[in-house]
C-alpha cells in the first residue's frame, strides 16, 4: 500500500542530505561522543545501557519483567511518504525485537519543513508509521513534533522482556555461528534509486525487506542456545559484527561467499553502486578488519553497506543453527543464512572468501 496522496508533487529525498540509517553518525565519532556520557553502574536494575553499543536500553522492573526502550529516526530514504513512514517505524521497532522483547507501545518523533511539504504528504508519513504499528499490535500513544529544515520521522519504541531472556550483543560465545536474517543491499538499492535508475522490481524488493518486522527476535530469545542478537543497520554487517566482537571479547570470521544478497541489489553491487556511508564505515572501523585476498571489492563493500531496517544477526551454538534458520523461515525470512562464526581472539573480523 502506498501513494496516499500528494506524493507525485514532492520528492521527499530532495530535502534530506542523507537517508535512512545511512545518515547515522559514523561509529568512530559516535564512540567519541559517548565517551563522557556518564557511568551507569550506579543503577543496578539497568541491565543494558550504552557500554556495548547495544540496540536498546533494558531496565528491570521486577523478577519477571524488564522494559526495553529505544528510539530511532531518520530522514527519507524514499520519495513515497507512506513508504517512508512504514520503513522508519519498522526500523525503530526492530531494536525491541533485537533485545528479545515484544513491543507494547510507541511514541512518534516528527520533524517537518511545514512550509515546504503539503499537509497531505506529512499525513501520509504518519499514516505509514501507524500502519506498521498496527501490524506489530501496538499503539502510537503520543510523541513530539517540531518544524525542521529536513523531514524526520521515527519512533520511541517500548517493549517488555523477561530479565533472563534479554539478548545482549555482548553475550556471544566462542564457537557460535552467526546467522543473518535478511539479505544485504538496501543502501545499494537506495543509491540506485537516488540516481533515478532503480526499476519497479528493485523498488518493490527494497520496500518489502525494509518493512518486514523482525518479530522473530522474541521467539529466538526463547532458545537457550541463542546467546546474542543484534540488528544490522547503518554501520553495515561488518560494523555490527564488530560490536558483537567487542562486547563479547571475541574474534569473528565472515564468509563473503555465504552472504545473502537481495537479488535486485546484486547487479548494482557488482557495478560498484553504493552510498557514501560505505567509505565512512570503512574509515571508522576498517583497522579492525582483515580482508582475504580472494574477497572481491564489491563483496567487501556489501559488508559495509548501511542497512535501513536490516536483518537480525544471531550468535548461536552450532547445534542450534538449523532450529534458528527454521524459525526465520517460519516468519517469512527466506534469505536467512549462516554467514560466519566466532572464536577466541582479539575483537577483530576476518572477511574470508
Sign, CA dihedral 83-84-90-93, equals negative
Q: Which pairing describes strands 46-48 and 57-60: parallel, antiparallel, or unpaired?
A: antiparallel
| 146 CB neighbour count, 10 Å cutoff | 10
For residues 299 and 198, the answer to whether their CB atoms sit within 8 Å is no
Establish whether 133 is a catalytic residue.
no
The catalytically annotated residue of 21, 23, 133, 245 is: 21
Q: Show the 3-state SS of the chain.
A: CCCCCCCCCCCHHHHCCCCHHHHCCCHHHHHHHHCCCCCCCCCCCEEECCCCCCCCEEEECCCCCEEEEEEEEECCCCCCHHHHHHHHHHHHHHHHHHCCCEEEEEEEEEEECCCCCCHHHHHHHHHHHHHHHHHHCCCEEEEEEEECCCCEEEEEEEEEECHHHCCCCCCCCCCCEEEECCCECHHHHHHHHHCCCCCHHHHHHHHHHHCCCCCHHHHHCCCCCEEEEEECCCCHHHHHHHHHHHHHCCEEEEEHHHCCECCCCHHHHHCCCCCCHHHHHHHHHHHHEEECCCCCHHHHHHHHCCCCCCCEEEEECHHHHHHHHHHHHHCCCCCCEEEEEEECCCCCEEEEC
Helix 27-34 / helix 277-285 crossing angle, nearest 10 deg: 60
Helix 200-210 / helix 186-194 crossing angle, nearest 10 deg: 140
| 175 CB neighbour count, 10 Å cutoff | 14
Instruction: Enumerate the active-site residues.
Output: 21
Amino acid at each position: 500500500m502506498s501513494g496516499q496522496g500528494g506524493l507525485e508533487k514532492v520528492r521527499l529525498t530532495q530535502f534530506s542530505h542523507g537517508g535512512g540509517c545511512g545518515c547515522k553518525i559514523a561509529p568512530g565519532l559516535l564512540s567519541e561522543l559517548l565517551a563522557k556520557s556518564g557511568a551507569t553502574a550506579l543503577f543496578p536494575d539497568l541491565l543494558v545501557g550504552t557500554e556495548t553499543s547495544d540496540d536498546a536500553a533494558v531496565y528491570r522492573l521486577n523478577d519477571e519483567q524488564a522494559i526495553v526502550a529505544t528510539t530511532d529516526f531518520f530522514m527519507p530514504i524514499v520519495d513515497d511518504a507512506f513508504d517512508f513512514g512504514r520503513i522508519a517505524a519498522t526500523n525503530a521497532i526492530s531494536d525491541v525485537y533485537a533485545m528479545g522483547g515484544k513491543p507494547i507501545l510507541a511514541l512518534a518523533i516528527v520533524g517537518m519543513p511545514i512550509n515546504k511539504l503539503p499537509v497531505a504528504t506529512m499525513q501520509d508519513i504518519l499514516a505509514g508509521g501507524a500502519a506498521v504499528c498496527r501490524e506489530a499490535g501496538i499503539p502510537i500513544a503520543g510523541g513530539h513534533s517540531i518544524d525542521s529544515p529536513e523531514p524526520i520521522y521515527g519512533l520511541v519504541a517500548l517493549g517488555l522482556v523477561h530479565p533472563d531472556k534479554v539478548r545482549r550483543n555482548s553475550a556471544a560465545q566462542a564457537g557460535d555461528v552467526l546467522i543473518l536474517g535478511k539479505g544485504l543491499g538496501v543502501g545499494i538499492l537506495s543509491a540506485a534509486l537516488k540516481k533515478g535508475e532503480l526499476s519497479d522490481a528493485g523498488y518493490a524488493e527494497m520496500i518489502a525487506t525494509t518493512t518486514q518486522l523482525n518479530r522473530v527476535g522474541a521467539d529466538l530469545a526463547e532458545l537457550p542456545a541463542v546467546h546474542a542478537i543484534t540488528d544490522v543497520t547503518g554501520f553495515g554487517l561488518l560494523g555490527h559484527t564488530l560490536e558483537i566482537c567487542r562486547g563479547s571479547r571475541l574474534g569473528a570470521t565472515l564468509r563473503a561467499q555465504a552472504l545473502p544478497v537481495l537479488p535486485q541489489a546484486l547487479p548494482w553491487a557488482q557495478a560498484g553502486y553504493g552510498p557514501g556511508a560505505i567509505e565512512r564505515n570503512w574509515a571508522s572501523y576498517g583497522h579492525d578488519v582483515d580482508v582475504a585476498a580472494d574477497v572481491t571489492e564489491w563483496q567487501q563493500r556489501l559488508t559495509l553497506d548501511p542497512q535501513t531496517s536490516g536483518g537480525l544477526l544471531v550468535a548461536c551454538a552450532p547445534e542450534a543453527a538449523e532450529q534458528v534458520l527454521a524459525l526465520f523461515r517460519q516468519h517469512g525470512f527466506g534469505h536467512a543464512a549462516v554467514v560466519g562464526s566466532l572464536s577466541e581472539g582479539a575483537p577483530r573480523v576476518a572477511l574470508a572468501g
